[in-house]
């Protein structure tokens, strides 16, 4: 039995998950920091406002906005354009800057807000400089669930130990049986001295990205930097103990340490002090190394706008920070301390605040080279960039997204196979066919990037061989979705799809086939995070059948609950 956390796989798996599911903001996200050096130049005033409301549109823009798609905009940049996101509240002027090298305490005037990059030096205990506890708890809980899911998915015995016996008694036994007099946990060297520090660095960044007193700091031998990283070390230590001994860690899920057993001739319960030391301490050293790498290498590689794939590859130079970014629904390359721009199809055309900001910068500084040489290196907008009208509805004509689902129980309306587990990961596109005041109708084909089917195997006495897994991929060219209350931020919908999946082996029966037809009917709710970004939760009843193309066709029905993320675009509109 091997119950180790397999933390070394977290970086690669979460990067792949980001590519497949477009987690968080889309690949075009721009992480805007405070351009302190530029903003302090005479006459420069950067203001970041919200997009204009529908009432500010011209009459022509409003009259054409109801069309399913607008004519091609001749002034749309060929390489796409950029949108912005920030960790600061919109509409606030955070351009004031003090010299951080002095470390002087910030004493804002009555009612003024402390700029984010001055929080490390704030002595007023300003509210905006306090730890963001709710986002910290959410991102840490997601990371914890990801670790437990990985252990449960990859190990039969992990699942067996979790679901057998009295849970509270076994959890208590796992904690009290911890070997405090034993250094090694009898796991491989990479587990003890690479995987655990990797996990510790991720938890460091989970804290740092929610701590305004350290979120914008780069590697430096200053009191503010060391204080912020020591605070992260304390949080990482707490998480390490919870992961090993807490009810939501390996003691409560998997009951690691509950009993001794022989593993390759060694009597062990896979506990030891090494896990509680190398995770926080090794994690801090890893974090400092990534901070140094980010300051001297990654920053230079990000000086000009790049394609998302290039930025994704660059993010592997700082893998734990990139992983922590994903768990807060940000792109792996996101930075709170500087601007990182990506060019892609999913980028929004520039808004009036973007164009006006660039005009102000050019007017004040005089030469583009002066801006490019600034510390934050804010890229210039293309000369042919212009402000497009706002699409005055939630969503858009074109939708691009992905969803992940899980079915743990089967139905029997059409299929006969029982006790089948099913997990699909799909990429989806939809096109607005009909728009009405009370409902919209979309054509919505899908690509099944990965489908995992777990089924029982009869006649096996070995517990580990009593079930098998098959993996496949496919396409559903027939798909439609009807959404209701299109002017609301929350929109219920009904959907149906049909297609096929090809698996790497025969499924549901030894005489079955590798190809399965699929048809499903579903419903759910779409929640618009912004007018162009949405998250959906839904349910699908799906039938998988080979259509009698093989000697045996038991078929199966799945009850799939899923989570989806979407990005909308309308040609000629923002």
What are the sequence ranges of the domains in the chain?
1-392, 398-569
CATH of 398-569, one of 1.20.210.10, 3.30.420.10, 3.90.1150.10, 2.40.160.20: 2.40.160.20
Long-range contacts of 181-189 (CB under 8 A, 24+ apart): 182/271, 182/272, 182/273, 183/272, 183/273, 183/274, 184/272, 184/274, 185/4, 185/268, 185/270, 185/271, 185/272, 185/274, 185/275, 186/263, 186/266, 186/268, 186/270, 186/272, 187/2, 187/4, 187/270
Low-confidence ranges of the chain (pLDDT < 70): 1-111, 305, 343-386
Residue 533 contacts residue 559 (beta carbons within 8 Å): no
Q: Closest Cα to residue 422, out of 527, 520, 565, 549?
A: 520
Distance CA 345, CA 307 (A): 10
Q: Closest Cα to residue 217, out of 297, 294, 314, 279?
A: 294
Using one digit for the tens of pLDDT, what is the confidence trace for 222-241? Answer: 999 999 999 999 999 999 99
91's torsion region: left (phi>0), alpha (psi -120 to 50) or beta?
Answer: left
Distance CA 83, CA 350 (A): 7
């Amino acid at each position: 039995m091997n119950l180790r956390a397999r933390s070394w796989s977290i970086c690669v798996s979460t990067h792949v998950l980001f590519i497949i599911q477009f987690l968080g903001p889309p690949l075009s996200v721009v992480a805007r920091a405070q351009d302190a050096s530029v903003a302090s130049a005479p006459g420069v005033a950067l203001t970041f406002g919200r997009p204009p409301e529908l009432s500010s549109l011209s009459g022509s823009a409003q009259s054409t906005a109801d069309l399913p798609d607008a004519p091609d905009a001749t002034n749309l940049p060929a390489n796409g354009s950029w949108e912005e996101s920030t960790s600061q509240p919109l509409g606030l002027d955070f351009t004031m800057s003090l010299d951080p090298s002095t470390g002087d305490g910030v004493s804002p005037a009555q009612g003024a807000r402390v700029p984010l990059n001055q929080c490390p030096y704030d002595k007023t205990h300003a509210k905006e400089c306090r730890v963001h506890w709710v986002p910290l708890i959410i991102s840490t809980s997601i990371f914890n669930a990801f670790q437990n899911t990985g252990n449960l998915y990859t190990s039969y015995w992990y699942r067996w130990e979790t679901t057998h016996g009295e849970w509270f008694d076994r959890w208590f036994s796992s904690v009290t049986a911890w070997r405090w007099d034993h250094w090694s946990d009898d796991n491989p060297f990479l587990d003890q001295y690479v995987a655990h520090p990797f996990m510790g660095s991720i938890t460091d960044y989970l804290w740092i990205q929610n701590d305004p007193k350290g979120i914008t700091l780069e590697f430096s031998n200053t009191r503010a930097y060391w204080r912020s990283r020591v605070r992260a070390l304390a949080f990482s230590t707490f998480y390490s103990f919870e992961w090993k001994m807490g009810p939501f860690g390996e003691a409560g899920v998997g009951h690691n340490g509950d009993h001794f057993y022989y593993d390759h001739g060694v009597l062990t319960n896979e506990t030891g002090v090494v896990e509680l030391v190398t995770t926080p301490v090794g994690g801090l050293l890893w974090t400092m190394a990534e901070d140094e790498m980010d300051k001297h290498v990654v920053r230079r590689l990000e000086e000009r706008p790049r394609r998302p794939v290039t930025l994704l590859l660059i993010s592997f130079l700082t893998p734990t920070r990139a992983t922590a970014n994903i768990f807060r629904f940000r792109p792996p390359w996101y930075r709170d301390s500087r601007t990182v721009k990506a060019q892609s199809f999913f980028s929004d055309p520039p808004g009036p605040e973007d164009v006006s900001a660039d005009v102000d910068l050019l007017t004040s500084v005089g030469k583009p080279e002066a801006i490019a040489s600034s510390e934050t290196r804010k890229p210039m907008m293309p000369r042919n960039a212009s402000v497009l009208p706002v699409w005055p509805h939630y969503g858009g004509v074109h939708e691009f997204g992905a969803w992940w689902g899980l079915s743990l129980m089967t139905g029997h309306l059409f299929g006969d196979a029982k006790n089948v587990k099913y997990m699909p990961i799909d990429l989806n596109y939809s096109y607005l066919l009909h728009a009405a005041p009370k409902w919209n109708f979309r054509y919505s084909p899908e690509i099944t990037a990965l489908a995992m089917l777990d089924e029982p195997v009869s006649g096996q006495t070995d517990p580990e061989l009593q079930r098998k897994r098959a993996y496949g991929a496919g396409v559903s060219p027939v798909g439609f979705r009807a959404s209701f209350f299109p002017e609301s931020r929350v929109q219920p919908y009904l959907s149906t799809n049909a297609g096929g999946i090809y698996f790497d082996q025969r499924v549901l029966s030894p005489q079955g086939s590798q190809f399965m037809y699929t048809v499903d009917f579903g419903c759910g709710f779409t929640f618009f995070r912004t007018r162009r970004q949405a998250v959906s939760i839904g349910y699908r009843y799906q039938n998988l059948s080979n259509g009698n193309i093989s000697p045996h066709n038991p078929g199966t029905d799945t009850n799939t609950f899923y989570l989806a993320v979407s990005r909308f675009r309308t040609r000629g509109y923002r």
